[in-house]
């Protein structure tokens, strides 16, 4: 019966501990047009028929009316959105900071990482440079000179805008060529009529490197506009990314291939998917790459091009994004968004068979819900793994199983004003062979790191995130339901739905606050955890 209770209780583990599963997913009724993630992974922004602002764990903070183009600052404090001729800048709490109506429909926009500069392109081919307060600094025109009789076509269809860090430089690619400006709208240089159908542009953090994609291939230029190298492709380039440090250029095309180049133009690795590459993202130093394909898969690579994970979605994977350090990512199809960690689980060594089972559970970090330090053998009720099958995965599953149960159950039996630190000992000898429950004895000895440890270090945001994650685990343990998101927790506990909704809202506010929350606020969150745990009985 051991395999049975393992399978049953694995459903109670925190989301993301199994490599092939996302941390969270969210279905939306309207089509998703764009996907943005802040560099630290705290917030996610989508647009389409509804503008949706989420926390990094998939909790919806607010939705607004439709938006066709969106972008947000690195801290999530400013959100720019455009629909038709209307341009809006929202605050993080959905308050409208300002609105402006352009003369023509907007086709693209970009907001600087610090939120101080907003660059907007319109349908005729003009580019508008705004300050954070909505003041228009400059308007430039990428169209040809209408008085030039040698040019019969003076139109300029702008495809993409990219900004360097803090918006010091702005690159614009259109049907007429590639243009480079300062953040205030002063033209530095232009390569007109040199690109065959420009499709995408990317700029490094310093603005020293500019990658441009077209129907004919990929180019890398320096800040003066000099061509560093060029790659000719057989099919149009459909996805482009440039690492912030300028060391990696990623290009995906209609021939289903993804190519990684270094700064010198050398091809480091290639990958062939089962469909067109729709979007690609790269971490700041190129250590992780995420690509979405028309084959319905999101592919996660390491810096050497090895596939670490694949995530299936319900349709073409049109949009992907990674954090700056590459530790987390998001991907979206037309109606589904998933979030995941890029950390790959490591198999634990096999312990000695004669040692009694004792597992100490520690909380490692907000992004890794549980860390399991195993100091003993596999429980006697679990058969020893076959050497031919390997020992790492079975042992890891057992450790994770106990961890998931303990993080919830340990706190359920405490009535103090702060969450206790516990050591868990399993009494396998008293368990019936047919039982699916694991009796636990909770002891106060040998306290281990917990939310309180982060509090002592002044990391109040991380402490709040840990308490929130432990609530998800607790709900899963007490209800036996599959808990991956806060919505799952609310559905599993209709009697405590109101209290849980208030708890998770407070946890998200504290855990993703711009400034570290006050200690007393986190202690109040811990007290709310205990109150709900007691009511769940």
Instruction: For 487-526, write each residue's pLDDT tens digit.
Output: 778 778 866 776 787 788 778 878 877 778 888 888 888 8
* pLDDT for 406: 38
Q: What are phi and psi of 529, to 5 degrees?
A: -55, -50
Which of 51-55, 232-236, 421-425, 533-537 has the least mean pLDDT?
421-425
Give residue 154's pLDDT: 66
Please state, in angstroms and rounded to a whole number, the distance separating the CA atoms of residues 520 and 252: 49
Mean pLDDT of the chain: 78
d(CA 142, CA 173): 9
Band (465; pLDDT cuts 50, 70, 90): confident
Query: For 464, what's the count of Cα atoms within 13 Å in the CB-facing half-sphere?
Result: 26
Most confident of 385-394, 418-427, 444-453: 444-453
Smallest Cα–Cα separation from 361: which of 3, 76, 17? 17
Residue range 242-259, pLDDT digits in tens:
999 999 999 999 999 999
Residue 327: per-residue pLDDT: 93
What percentage of the chain exceeds 90 in pLDDT? 51
**133 pLDDT above the threshold of 90:** yes
Higher pLDDT, 352 or 459: 459
Largest CA distance in the chain: 93
Element (H, E) at 238: strand 237-242
Task: Report, as an integer, the average pLDDT of 249-271.
Answer: 96
Give the residue among 65, 36, 186 at the shortest CA–CA distance from 117.
186
pLDDT bucket at 91, cuts 50 / 70 / 90: very high
pLDDT given at position 20? 55
Intra-chain end-to-end CA distance of the chain, in Å: 27
**Mean pLDDT throughout 228-240?**
94
Can you give the pTM of this predicted structure?
0.63
Q: Give me the pLDDT at residue 515, please.
A: 79
Interatomic CA distance for residues 199 and 190, integer angstroms: 16
Q: Which pair of structure tokens corresponds to residue 473?
A: 């685990």
For 428, which DSSP code? G
Q: How distant is the alpha carbon of residue 399 from its chain centre? A: 27
Q: What is the pLDDT of residue 485?
A: 77
* pLDDT band per the 50, 70, 90 thresholds, residue 533: confident
CB 369 within 8 A of CB 355: no
More confident residue, 146 or 499: 499
Helix axis angle for 2-10 and 392-412, nearest 10°, is 60
pLDDT at 392: 43
Torsion of CA 51, 56, 59, 63, to 10 degrees: -10
| DSSP structure class, residue 176 | T
State the Cα–Cα distance between residues 292 and 276, nearest whole angstrom. 9
CA 396 to the chain's CA centroid: 25
Range with top average pLDDT, 25-34, 221-230, 462-471 = 221-230
211 closest CA partner among 156, 160, 253: 160
369-411, pLDDT tens digit by residue?
Answer: 333 333 333 333 334 334 334 434 444 444 443 344 333 433 3
**pLDDT, position 396:** 41
The count of other CB atoms within 10 Å of the CB of residue 83 is 17
Q: Which has more confidence, 237 or 478? A: 237
Task: Report the range of poorest mean pLDDT among 175-184, 344-353, 425-434.
Answer: 425-434
Q: What is the mean pLDDT of residues 82-97?
A: 95
pLDDT band for 424, please (50, 70, 90 cuts).
very low
Is a pLDDT exceeding 70 seen at residue 54?
Answer: yes
User: Among 151, 147, 244, which Cα is nearest to 203's?
Assistant: 244
At residue 512, the pLDDT reads 76
Q: How confident is the model at residue 451 (pLDDT cuts 50, 70, 90)?
A: confident
Residue 31 — pLDDT band, cuts 50, 70, 90? confident
Structure-token match 């991380």, residue found:
462
Average pLDDT over residues 232-243: 94
CA–CA distance, 377 with 355 (Å, rounded to integer): 6
| 43-47, 230-234, 451-455, 482-486, range with the lowest pLDDT | 482-486
Q: What is the mean pLDDT of residues 41-69?
A: 92
pLDDT of residue 121: 96
As a whole number, mean pLDDT of residues 423-444 equals: 33
**Model confidence pLDDT, tens digit, residues 293-313:** 999 999 999 999 999 999 999
pLDDT at 195: 73
Query: What is the dihedral sign for C-alpha 353, 404, 7, 495?
Result: positive
């Amino acid at each position: 019966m051991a395999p049975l209770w393992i399978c049953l209780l694995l459903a109670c583990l925190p989301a993301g501990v199994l490599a092939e599963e996302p941390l969270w997913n969210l279905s939306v009724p309207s089509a998703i047009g764009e996907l943005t993630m802040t560099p630290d992974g705290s917030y996610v922004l989508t647009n389409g028929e509804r503008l949706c602002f989420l926390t990094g764990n998939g909790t919806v903070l607010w939705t607004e009316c439709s938006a066709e183009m969106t972008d947000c600052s690195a801290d999530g404090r400013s959100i720019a959105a455009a629909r038709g001729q209307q341009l809006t800048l929202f605050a993080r709490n959905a308050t409208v900071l300002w609105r402006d109506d352009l003369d023509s429909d907007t086709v693209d926009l970009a907001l600087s990482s610090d939120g101080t500069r907003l660059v907007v392109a319109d349908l005729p081919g003009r580019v508008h440079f705004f300050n954070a307060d909505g003041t228009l600094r400059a308007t430039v025109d990428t169209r040809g000179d209408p008085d030039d009789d040698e040019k019969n076509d003076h139109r300029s269809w702008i495809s993409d805008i990219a900004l360097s860090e803090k918006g010091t430089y702005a690159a614009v690619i259109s049907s007429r060529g590639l243009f480079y400006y300062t953040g205030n709208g002063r033209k530095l240089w232009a390569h007109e009529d040199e690109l065959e159908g420009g499709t995408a542009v990317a700029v490094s953090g310093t603005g020293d490197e500019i990658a441009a994609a077209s129907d004919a291939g990929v180019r890398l230029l320096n800040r003066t506009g000099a061509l560093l190298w060029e790659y000719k492709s057989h099919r149009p380039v459909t996805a482009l990314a440039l690492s912030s440090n300028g060391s990696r250029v990623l290009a995906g095309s209609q021939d289903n291939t993804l190519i990684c180049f270094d700064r010198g133009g050398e091809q480091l690795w290639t990958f062939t998917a089962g469909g067109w590459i729709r979007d690609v993202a790269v971490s700041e130093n190129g250590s992780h790459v995420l690509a979405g394909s028309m084959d319905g898969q999101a592919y996660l690579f390491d810096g050497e091009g090895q596939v670490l994970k694949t995530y299936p979605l319900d349709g073409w994977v049109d949009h992907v994004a990674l954090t700056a350090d590459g530790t987390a990512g998001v991907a979206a199809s037309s109606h589904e968004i998933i979030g995941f960690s890029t950390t790959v689980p490591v198999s634990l060594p096999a312990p000695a068979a004669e040692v009694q089972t004792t597992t100490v559970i520690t909380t490692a970090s907000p992004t890794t819900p549980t860390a399991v330090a195993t100091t003993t053998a596999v429980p006697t009720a679990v058969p020893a793994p076959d050497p031919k099958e390997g020992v790492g995965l079975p042992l890891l599953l057992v450790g994770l199983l106990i961890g998931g149960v303990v993080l919830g159950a340990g706190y359920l039996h405490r009535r103090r004003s702060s969450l206790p630190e516990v050591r868990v000992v399993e009494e396998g000898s008293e368990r019936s062979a047919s039982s699916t429950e694991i009796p636990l004895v909770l002891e106060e000895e040998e306290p281990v790191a917990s939310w309180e440890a982060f509090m002592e270090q002044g990391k109040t945001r991380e402490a709040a995130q840990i308490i929130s994650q432990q609530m998800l685990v607790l709900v899963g343990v007490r209800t036996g339901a599959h808990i991956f998101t806060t919505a799952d927790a609310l559905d599993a506990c209709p009697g405590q739905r109101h209290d849980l909704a208030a708890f998770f809202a407070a946890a998200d506010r504290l855990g993703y606050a711009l400034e570290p929350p006050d200690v007393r606020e986190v202690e109040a969150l811990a007290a709310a955890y205990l109150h709900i745990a007691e009511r769940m009985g």
